[in-house]
Structure 1
Amino acid sequence: MPDPSSQTVAPGVRALTAPNPGPMTHAGTRTYLLGRQAVAVIDPGPDDAAHLAAILAALEPGARITHILVTHAHRDHSAAAPALRAATGAPVLAFGPPEAGRSPMMAALAARGDLAGGEGIDRGFRPDRCLRHGEVLAAPEWTLEALHTPGHLSSHLSFALPQAGTLFTGDTVMGWSTTVISPPDGSVGAFRASMALLAARPERLYLPGHGAPVINGPATARAQGAHRGLREAQILAALAEGPQTVAALVRRLYAGLAAPLRPAAARNVLAHLLELAEQGRTALPDAPLMEAEFRLAAG
């Protein structure tokens, strides 16, 4: 019998929650099982033996896992992929290695060596096959479309399940929190473009990598894209008063934020500053970016 801890969250879709709760993971990473006989596993989760056993126990008699799909190479989503591949023989599919899809500016800043970042990245992750934006995967019970949705990570994929009006959004859209954008792997500009892409699609139910299903996904995507626009305006207003460090902007914009969340807020602020630099609206400092003063570009 299937593991009773799995929960049906959409037609033909079951969810398991990994035992890795925390400030950045909510109740834990959500692993989705699509189909009953030829099963796709979306985000196998952290390297945790109990969670791997729960995934295998959730299979129907005679079922087999045919696809292991990874939205992005953060360890809480991808680290179990090698063990699940070894247990089932199924290939691992993703957009590419963690740094795939970085913009030239982010690649240059990463090479500069003073950007830090890389929190939670599964550096050794390599899929068996890379998926292109718009590529379709099919089995007798389901059809999925891969969507490149960078922002949280440059190599982030979402997966559309058109027949159920559902999107698997990984860490791109969640209902309980906006996502962290940490350069060089994250990009505010790419995130806002991804929000527009998803909001324009017909799927309304979003199944995120953490937290409960999002019932009106397009509205949430539009709101989260608009939130980044508001944050950008706040940063520009602060810079109009004079040069600012990342830490000073965090104190100003995130007053009262719990201490465990402040590092993530700092990375979000840095992402906004780098997006403004890429647009030519702020000057890019030569000093280490987390300590440097940013100022509006001359002219």
Structure 2
Amino acid sequence: MSSLIPGQLTIIAPGVWRVLAQNPGMMTGPGTNSYLLATDDGLILLDPGPSDERHAAQLQAGAESIGLPITQIVVTHTHRDHSPCAALFPSARRLGPLPPDDGLQDESWQPDQILKDGDTLPLAQGDTLRVIATPGHVSNHFCYLIEGTGLLFSGDHLIQGSTVVIAPPSGSMGAYLDSLRRLQSEPVRLMAPGHGDLIREPMDYIAHTIAHRLRREEKVLRSLSLHPGRPVSDLVASVYDDVPVFLHGVASMSLLAHLIKLEQEHRAACDADERWSLVVPG
């Protein structure tokens, strides 16, 4: 049975708790997961979630029941369902990436410390939280690994029960696949996603996700072969024929990301009218 109960403080590992925000929806699933991580003198709030005073109050109540103050805020990325609630904790120090300028980000997020790949943050019991740069879903995406336990906070790089949207220009399908392959070399034993419940077989899940994306790429190539010189809006129905029509608008973003990857690999080309075709070798 799922333990995803909105607003409830749920322990998921020693020194790690989850609070589910009350923002369910088509893009957020059951809602955004916020996590509290114990340090020697306080709590790191990882992905504070949407700007919601009720959620902030539940996070604060959770911290009080743990008996530690929220002293730091860390984000996996700056989409508006992940970082805006940081503004409701003005005394906490903010750490994370800068937001890209694509019109889809939380403009209120400005870190006190810009994190980079390989940085580490101290946790309780001498453990560390390591930053892993995982661009793809968005260019500024980070995952965070608790090195002693192998618990990975995957944000929107991998979520439970669904694939994520890759929306250009800040999203990149090529970077996404590269980031997934990078995680295959990390000692990940449990995954705590930005949406959905814990992923208990993370390496299988990563491999399945890579295979799924490559199968979708094959469908893109097949559709270009059958329907050359078509815009994304014409291609989406055949490439995503296994997805409900009401989701085709969202699927078009990931389709464009696939096409841009193929263009970068000189396997597809786009003309001045944004019509896509295969590149014929030779």
**Fold match, TM over 0.5?**
yes
Cα contact 1:170–1:208 (8 A) shared by 2: yes
The answer to whether structure 1 residue 73 and structure 2 residue 78 are counterparts is yes
**Alpha-carbon offset, residue 271 of structure 1:** 0.4
Give how far 1:286 is off.
2.4
Distance 1:80 1:259 in 2: 33
**Cα offset, 1:248, TM superposition:** 2.1
SS in 2 for 1:50: helix
Contact 1:176 1:211 in 2 (8 A): yes
Which residue in 1 is equivalent to 2:44?
40
Change over 3 Å in CA distance of 1:4–1:79 after alignment to 2: closer
Contact 1:181 1:188 in 2 (8 A): yes
Q: Which amino acid aligns with 2:222?
A: A
SS, match of residue 73 in structure 2: strand
1:200 deviates by: 1.6
- Identify the residue that residue 157 of structure 1 maps to in structure 2: 142
d(CA) in 2 for partners of 1:124 and 1:254? 35
The C-alpha deviation readout for 1:275-299, integer Å capped at 9, x for no partner, is: 1111121113323xxxx31011243
Q: Which residue is equivalent to 1:59?
A: 63
Distance 2:62 2:170 in 1: 33
Q: In the TM superposition, what is the alpha-carbon distance from 1:124 to its structure 2 partner? A: 4.1
Cross-structure match for 1:294? 276
Deviation of the 1:256 alpha carbon: 5.5
1:281 matches 2:263:
no
User: Partner amino acid for 1:64?
Assistant: P
> TM-score of the superposition, structure 1-length normalised?
0.86
Partner AA of 2:257 in structure 1 = A
Partner Cα distance (1:180, 1:143) in 2: 30
Q: C-alpha displacement at 1:184, in angstroms? A: 0.4
Query: Unpaired segments of 5 or more residues in structure 1?
Result: 100-116
The answer for the alignment partner of 1:104 in structure 2 is none
Q: Sequence identity, in percent?
A: 37
1:140 corresponds in structure 2 to: 124
Distance 2:109 2:235 in 1: 34
Greater relative contact order (Cα 8 A, min sep 6): structure 1 or 2?
1
Aligned residue number for residue 254 of structure 2: 268
- Partner of residue 109, structure 1: none
- Structure 1 position 4, deviation (Å): 8.2
Residue 88 of structure 2 aligns with an amino acid whose one-letter code is A
Give the superposition deviation at 1:11.
1.9
Note if 1:185 corresponds to 2:170. Answer: yes
* Equivalence for 2:15: 12
**Do the aligned partners of 1:23 and 1:261 also contact (CA within 8 Å) in 2?**
no
Q: Distance in 1 between matches of 2:137 and 2:145?
A: 18
3-state SS in 2 of match to 1:164: coil
Q: 1:157 to 1:4 in 2, by over 3 A?
A: closer
* Superposition deviation, residue 201 in structure 1: 1.1
Residues 15 and 124 of structure 2 are in contact (CA less than 8 Å); yes or no, is this contact kept in structure 1? no
1:162-173 equivalences in 2 (<5 Å) = 162-173=147-158
Given that 2:191 and 2:202 are in contact with CA atoms closer than 8 Å, whether structure 1 keeps it comes out as: yes
Which position in structure 2 is the counterpart of 1:130? Answer: 114
**What is the aligned counterpart of 1:92 among 94, 105, 123?**
94
The reply on whether 1:204 has 2:189 as its aligned counterpart is yes
**How has the CA–CA distance of structure 1 residues 259 and 20 changed in structure 2, closer, same or farther, with 3 Å as cutoff?**
farther
User: Using a 3 Å threshold, how does the CA distance of structure 1 residues 211 and 183 change in structure 2: closer, same or farther?
Assistant: same
1:180 Cα offset (Å): 0.6
Using the TM superposition, give the Cα deviation of residue 240 of structure 1 relative to its aligned residue in structure 2, in angstroms: 1.8
2:68 is matched by which residue type in structure 1? A
The 3 A distance-change label for structure 1 pair 51 and 262 is same
Stretches of structure 2 lacking an aligned partner (at least 5 in a row) = 1-5
Please give the secondary structure, in 2, of the residue aligned with 1:80. Answer: helix
